[in-house]
Amino acid sequence: MPLIETALAEHVGTIVLNNIAKRNALSEALIEEISDALTELLGRGARALVLRAPAGSKVWSAGHDISELPNAGRDPLGWGDSLRVLVRAIQSCRVPVLALLEGGVWGGACEVSLACDILVATPDTTFAITPAKLGIPYNLSGLLTLVNALPLPVAKELLFTAQPITAAQALNCGVVNYIKPPEEIAPFVYSLAQKIVANAPLSISVMKEELRLLTGARAMSPELFERIQGLRRTVYDSADYQEGLQSFHEKRKPIFQGS
Ligand code: YZS
């Protein structure tokens, strides 16, 4: 049973996350299907892509598949992690990706939505990024995606409280381009996509890549890199990380000790 649905019409591709039983948790299998769909739709001439869940979804995506997070001793969000692969695929995709957001956008899925180029939400859409709930040290490129999209105080509120913010709050800080009622959001997003595909694809593709390179351009000394890796290791080696994973599987609130 495929975990996504795809469509292509008038140069606009659509990828629908459709693993409702697992609330579109970003499992390796789901992300592999998304990556394959990106390649296939681009190969068939898509000049813009819409990433969405089924109409009326209460959960757009529950974020990283927690059952696939590694136990202590391994970086939970290393370069090869499926969530990292998906974020890079969206950011380096040569056509604009429009996020059609309905329902709760959780954890790594929040970063996936922020990696998209244009975000349109309904009034009930919420955004939450929850490493602090699981005892996870979010990774550096992931934090860069957040701070490139969000004012720092808003990024810190999301990360430190692990609580959702509303679409209205997201619109207020400019991270969501538009809020549209559920019955209008799809036609609106596709009308936006049509405006994009009417323009020069090479110009758009190069400007998207220039913006990716500009917003990712940060100098980092080897010492700084190693210090950050060391800091993150103390977190994912901690008992709290184990407690975070355990509490999710046992469907209970975590009790963190700070070690
Ligand atoms: O018990 P069954 O087998 O029916 O499965 C349940 C959930 O276990 C499963 N599920 C997930 N499985 C793996 N990874 C997930 N993230 C995940 N979320 C849900 O889906 C089935 C239905 O879940 P319910 O909880 O019963 O559904 P519902 O009551 O509608 O609640 C939906 C939400 C999304 C509110 C709830 O499932 C939830 O809070 N899920 C966890 C959301 C979350 O914290 N995601 C962040 C994961 N972490 C990351 O993305 C990053 C690594 S980080 O942590 O750094 O942000």
How many residues are recorded in the chain? Answer: 259
The pLDDT assigned to 249 comes to: 93
- DSSP assignment string, 192-205: HHHHHHTS-HHHHH
Q: Identify the helix (H) or strand (E) that includes residue 51.
A: strand 48-52
Answer yes or no: 249 catalytic: no
**Pocket of ligand 1 contains residue 3 by CB under 6 Å:** no
Q: Is 103 in the pocket of ligand 1 (CB under 6 A)?
A: no
- Summarize pLDDT for 61-105 with one digit per residue, the tens: 999 999 999 987 889 999 999 999 999 999 999 999 999 999 999
Q: Which residues pair with 179 in a beta bridge?
A: 121
Q: Residue 26 Cα, ligand 1 centroid: separation in angstroms? A: 10
pTM attached to this predicted model: 0.96
The one-character DSSP state at 77 is T
- Phi, psi at 242, each rounded to 5°: -60, -40
Phi, psi for residue 198 in degrees, rounded to 5: -80, -15
- What's the pLDDT score for residue 1? 84
Ligand 1 atom closest to the Cα of residue 138 is 55
Distance CA 179, CA 123 (A): 6
**Burial degree of 99 (CB within 10 A; 0-12, 13-18, 19+):** buried
Task: Indicate if ligand 1 lies below 6 Å from the C-beta of 62.
Answer: yes
**Which whole-number Å values give the CA distances from 53 to 14, 134, 250, in the listed order?**
10, 25, 27
Q: What is the pLDDT of residue 256?
A: 96
3-state DSSP call for residue 230? helix
Give catalytic status of residue 236 as yes or no: no
- Report how far ligand 1's centroid is from the alpha carbon of 11 (Å): 34
Mutate to test the pocket of ligand 1, among 66, 134, 146, 252 (most ligand atoms within 8 A of CB): 66
Looking at residue 125, its pLDDT comes to 98
Amino acid 71: pLDDT: 82
- d(CA 176, CA 138) in angstroms, rounded, equals 22
The residues of the chain scoring below 70 in pLDDT are none
Provide the CATH number for the domain formed by 4-195 in this structure.
Answer: 3.90.226.10
pLDDT at 72: 77
- Choosing from 71, 106, 232 the residue with most ligand 1 atoms within 8 A of its CB, the one to mutate for a pocket test is 106
Which two three-digit tokens encode residue 65? 């598949």
- Tokens 């975070």 belong to 244
Taking CA atoms, 193 is separated from 20, 59, 76, 99, in Å, by 26, 23, 35, 11
Q: What pLDDT is attached to residue 28?
A: 96
126 CB under 6 A from ligand 1? no
Ligand 1 neighbourhood includes 25 CB (under 6 angstroms)? yes
Q: Between 82-91 and 140-149, two packed helices, what is the crossing angle to 10 degrees?
A: 40
Neighbours of 217 (CB within 10 A): 7
CA gap 65, 234 in Å, rounded:
22
Give me the residue spans of the domains in the chain. Answer: 4-195
C-alpha to C-alpha distance for 34 and 40, rounded to whole angstroms:
10
- Rounded CA gap, 159 and 130, in Å? 6
* 108 assigned to active site: yes
